[in-house]
Chain A
Amino acid sequence: MGGNLHFANFDTPTPGSAWMMLSEDERLSRLKDVLTKGMSSVANLIVITSAKDDGQVIVSLQEQLPADKRGTVLLDLEAFLKETVDQGLVVWLDGLGDKNSLRNLRGIEVKA
């Protein structure tokens, strides 16, 4: 069996106790610290806005990146945080609401 199909039964890593015991402020501080030290090339581009105890790290970008760039930047960031902080961390960008003015009349709000 080629590819990485042997991962079919693997569990996705979840954060360890060291991460979960930190406060939100401590988690944010830790992430900002490792980002500045280890990924200086993008540290000014990425703002970490939330670091939840379940491992979800929410970031925003200081400038809009084209579609062929943003995936690489964010996957690199996630891989770096997994390697240096905790294997259970998962990076997401801030979500966007619908720009369709007609559909917006429904009042549906995309949750973060």
Chain B
Amino acid sequence: MTAAVQTREGALILDSHKLSYHFDRVQAWEAGERVAPVSVDMSLTRACGAMCSFCYAMMQESQARSSIKTAHALNLLDDFAEIGVRSVSLVSDGESTLSKAYVPFIQHAASLGIDVGNATNAWEWEPEKIEQVLPYLTWIRFTVAAGRPESYASIMYKGPEHTEVFDRAVRHIKYAVDLKKRNRLPVTLGIQMVLMPHLKDEIIPFAQLGLDLGVDYAVIKHCSDDEQHTLGIDYSQYEGLHGLLTQAESMSNEQTKVIVKWSKIRDGDKPTYKRFYGPQFLLQISGSGLVAPSGMFFNARYSKLHIGNFTEERFKDIWESERYWRAMNYLASPAFDAQTMMGTLPIQHYVSVALDNHAKGIQRMQPGVDPKPLHVNFL
């Protein structure tokens, strides 16, 4: 269940979940109580300067975008603290570093005792901004599509000649690595490759880049696709990459662990669960302000599962509304089939598998044991 990788700073779980460390919420959920999410994954904007070929945000356009002001973002955090949200990851469907709310959001979350993580391409993450946020972050994960500049620029930007974006990212990542060392910051730094099967030649260069940068980990994950196969991912092709992925993992050294998300690659487009319980514990919010149970449902197509917009009403009121619980209960009812009605491998995949196994009695969840893993409040 806990596929932890031992790092110099503790056990790192990237290919499983940490829900057992929030057993109080699981028990309350099982008793039919309305539980607050342990974690919220969100973005402060839907804007992004990159054009990654694997980007799920291309399939996440809702009906209208709202601009998230700093006041909205800080109110949101106050509501999170009040209802008991324990962590926020700035990932979701936009590049949060572009938002004016980015720095105050992270600093305010820290003041409220809410852990914050962030995924970014690091292009606009310059030294001044790094200095302002790194001491307050639990982790930061850089999207690095490939280890070679030309490949990186082709996958994440306009073409192989635009290697300046690779150079910027590397410069900023190195700055963060140095700052962490210099100030002994308790932040985990990682890079992530979203592996599309045709990018197999990028696996080893990516792992090597992780070692060269001196980050704490370099993780390789699957690519999600929607149920209409918009991105055209053929999950059967991942099997042929096992040798290369194993080779990449073997490159791990004392400083940098190369990690493959084997579980998600193995599960592909065939989840074991029909009901989707995960969003009750790990909620997603769009950079448009839209509150929906999962990023899988941000697109207008899934408007029946759109609950509200936190720029138009307080999140606490949304969470307490019958709308919120109607959407969550719909996903837990026979009306919803996760195997056919949503995209593949959502961020809630690991917790959904665990909760489904728990509900079916296949594998009952047990309270987590000490020592706690790193980033325990991020599911």
* A97 contacts partner chain B, Cβ-Cβ < 8 Å: yes
Contact yes or no, A106 B228, CB < 8 A: no
Interface string of A9-41 (1 = CB under 8 A from B): 111110000000000000000000000000000
Please report the C-alpha to C-alpha distance between residue A1 and residue B341 in the assembled complex, in whole angstroms.
26
Please report the C-alpha to C-alpha distance between residue A8 and residue B329 in the assembled complex, in whole angstroms.
12
Contact yes or no, A110 B65, CB < 8 A: no
* B360 contacts partner chain A, Cβ-Cβ < 8 Å: yes
A-side contacts of B291, CB under 8 Å? 67
* A90 contacts partner chain B, Cβ-Cβ < 8 Å: yes
Given contacts A93-B300, A109-B230, contact A11 B334 (CB under 8 A): yes
Given contacts A2-B31, A66-B309, A103-B57, contact A12 B51 (CB under 8 A): no
Contact yes or no, B306 A96, CB < 8 A: no
Please report the C-alpha to C-alpha distance between residue A7 and residue B50 in the assembled complex, in whole angstroms.
41
Contact yes or no, B323 A68, CB < 8 A: yes
Please report the C-alpha to C-alpha distance between residue A91 and residue B302 in the assembled complex, in whole angstroms.
9
Neighbour of B274 across the interface among A12, A97, A99, CB < 8 A: A12
Neighbour of A96 across the interface among B274, B300, B330, B360, CB < 8 A: B300
15 examples of A-B residue contacts, CB within 8 angstroms: A2-B32, A3-B329, A7-B275, A8-B275, A67-B312, A70-B63, A70-B304, A74-B303, A75-B304, A92-B302, A96-B301, A100-B47, A100-B51, A105-B158, A111-B230
Please report the C-alpha to C-alpha distance between residue A111 and residue B332 in the assembled complex, in whole angstroms.
26
Interface residues of A (CB under 8 A from B): 1-13, 64-68, 70-72, 74-75, 78, 82, 90-100, 102-103, 105-106, 108-112
Residue of B29, B58, B274 ringed by the most chain A CB atoms within 10 A:
B58
Is the contact region of chain A dominated by helix, strand, or loop, or is it mixed?
loop
A-side contacts of B146, CB under 8 Å? none
Given contacts A71-B323, A108-B231, contact A93 B303 (CB under 8 A): yes
Neighbour of B57 across the interface among A6, A100, A111, CB < 8 A: A100
* B335 contacts partner chain A, Cβ-Cβ < 8 Å: yes
Neighbour of B230 across the interface among A64, A65, A102, A110, CB < 8 A: A110
Interface residues of B (CB under 8 A from A): 29-33, 46-53, 55, 57-65, 158, 226, 228-231, 273-275, 277, 289-291, 299-309, 312-313, 318, 321, 323, 326-327, 329-330, 332-337, 340-341, 356, 359-360
Q: How far is the CB of A84 from chain B (nearest CB, A)?
A: 15
B-side contacts of A108, CB under 8 Å? 58, 230-231
Given contacts A3-B32, A103-B58, A110-B58, contact A13 B334 (CB under 8 A): yes
Please report the C-alpha to C-alpha distance between residue A61 and residue B151 in the assembled complex, in whole angstroms.
42
Residue of A67, A74, A112 ringed by the most chain B CB atoms within 10 A:
A67
Contact yes or no, A68 B63, CB < 8 A: no
Please report the C-alpha to C-alpha distance between residue A100 and residue B30 in the assembled complex, in whole angstroms.
41
Given contacts A12-B336, A67-B312, A108-B231, contact A103 B301 (CB under 8 A): no
Contact yes or no, B300 A95, CB < 8 A: yes
Q: How far is the CB of B32 from chain A (nearest CB, A)?
A: 2
Given contacts A68-B312, A93-B301, contact A1 B359 (CB under 8 A): yes
A-side contacts of B330, CB under 8 Å? 75
Given contacts A2-B31, A7-B275, A8-B356, contact A106 B323 (CB under 8 A): no
Given contacts A4-B332, A99-B65, contact A68 B29 (CB under 8 A): no
Name the residue on B nearest A12 (C-beta).
B337
Name the residue on A nearest B309 (C-beta).
A67
Given contacts A7-B333, A96-B63, A100-B48, contact A67 B341 (CB under 8 A): no
Starting from the known contacts A93-B301, A105-B51, 15 additional A-B residue pairs (CB-CB under 8 Å) come to A5-B359, A7-B333, A10-B334, A12-B274, A71-B306, A78-B304, A78-B335, A90-B341, A95-B299, A96-B299, A98-B58, A100-B48, A103-B52, A109-B230, A110-B230
Name the residue on A nearest B298 (C-beta).
A96
B-side contacts of A72, CB under 8 Å? 323, 326
Given contacts A7-B332, A7-B333, A78-B304, contact A96 B61 (CB under 8 A): yes
